[in-house]
Amino acid sequence: MKSVITAETLRSFAYLNDRVLCGRPRGLVLDFMGLGGMTMHGEDTPRGEMFGKAGVLYCVPYLDPWNWMNPFAVRETDEIRAAIEDLTGASGLPAVSSGGSMGGLACLVYTRYAAVTPVACAANCPVCDLPYHYTERPDLPRTLYAAFGTSEQEDLEAAMKKASPLHLAEAGDMPKIPYTVFHCEADGAVNKQMHSDRLVKALSKIAPVKYVSIPGRGHCDLGEMWGDYDRAILESFD
């Protein structure tokens, strides 16, 4: 099927900071939204401007707000990347996959299934054990059923495991690229011990991982550590 996401239609499907980009792009950041994220940006964002000044394209894909990086979300992101190349004329750009919460899961899982593997990944308070997360809060089962309940070939848990960073890492089925994981110790939405602690232990056996634990902060609230998080992304393009 011909993609409906093109250079002409891109801004209906993603935010891109190309209008504030300084010079020719040296890389691309894909920043995935958390659960329920439905914001469309009519103006350039502060992070878009920051990355633009650093000569880096910054994209926020407008995926389904509870996609959990299911197969269609992977395909849509690949189409967005192709449209960015057409729009900017910059092909083969190294990409960093990033995001927080559900977007943290998304950025990890996307490294596994992307048509072109990102060069690095940076995750903020990511969901890592997706079958466990199904039981973690009462608002989650409906979103995961919507994302993975359409397959007639496999049951829901099997489908979730294919988009579960912990299960992919334990199977050795993640690309051997650098990963940076930040997780706030007072996270009440995505339990650090059940998610990032376990992921980093498994992922470290197959790939380089930097793990940053942030005391006293709640879910995805990096505070003054946002600078460190963004520097970790930018260093991937050096």
Q: How many domains does the structure of the chain reveal?
A: 1
Tokens 């504030």, residue located = 20
| Domain membership flag for residue 226 | no
Q: What residues make up the domain containing 25?
A: 10-219
In a domain, 182, yes or no: yes
Q: Which residues of 167-184 are buried (b: 16+ CB within 10 A; e: fewer)?
A: bbbbeeebeebbbbbbbb
Neighbours of 192 (CB within 10 A): 18
pTM, 2 dp = 0.97
Gap between the Cα atoms of 112 and 190, Å rounded: 22
Name beta bridge partners: 99: 32, 123
Model pLDDT for residues 119-150, shown as the tens digit of each residue: 999 999 999 999 999 999 999 999 999 999 97
For residue 129, tell me if it sits in a domain. Answer: yes
CATH number at residue 23: 3.40.50.1820
Residue with tokens 């990963």: 179
Tens digits of residue pLDDT in 75-118: 999 999 999 999 999 999 999 999 999 999 999 999 999 999 99
Task: Using pLDDT thresholds of 50, 70 and 90, give the confidence band for residue 1.
Answer: low
